[in-house]
Structure 1
């Protein structure tokens, strides 16, 4: 997070209610992120994960990693990424049905 806009985007993606857009909030968010990351690295040293269980979310232009021990999931969350992907496919199907035939003969 480099800017207040980055902070707002992150909060929206994380489902966090609107944050006060101040430099102090941005600094606190960075500090928290760095503390959590250091804690995460320490936990990895003690309990390394089985990387075969790590999958990449198949949502467009996303790439979030998530644990999928049974290798059955396509998205990090069914409610978020999965729902958006399904809605996009539905929109494309409906749009294709409504499009005029491209082989129409002009008179």
Structure 2
């Protein structure tokens, strides 16, 4: 039971991280905001593993949603974690400034 909860928390952390730390991009299509899109980043956020190219791509894709994730009490701690910031930095995606 604890491993299932840990896995869910890890996924939420990864999703939040990707949304908050995604790089700038010009979008011609609307992005569907879904923290689950950041699941490929879960391992990198919860361990010392480097982020994959897929993780970095998803992080950049979810960039327009990051401030929404930062404001979500369920995702906030994961998105603002030191590992999430490290993953964002490694992916070349700066941490956004989100107004209240």
Specify if TM > 0.5: no
TM-score norm. by structure 2 comes to 0.25
Higher strand share: 1
Of the two, which has the highest radius of gyration?
Answer: 1
Report the TM-score when normalising by structure 1.
0.23
Whose relative contact order is higher, 1 or 2, with alpha carbons under 8 Å and at least 6 apart?
2
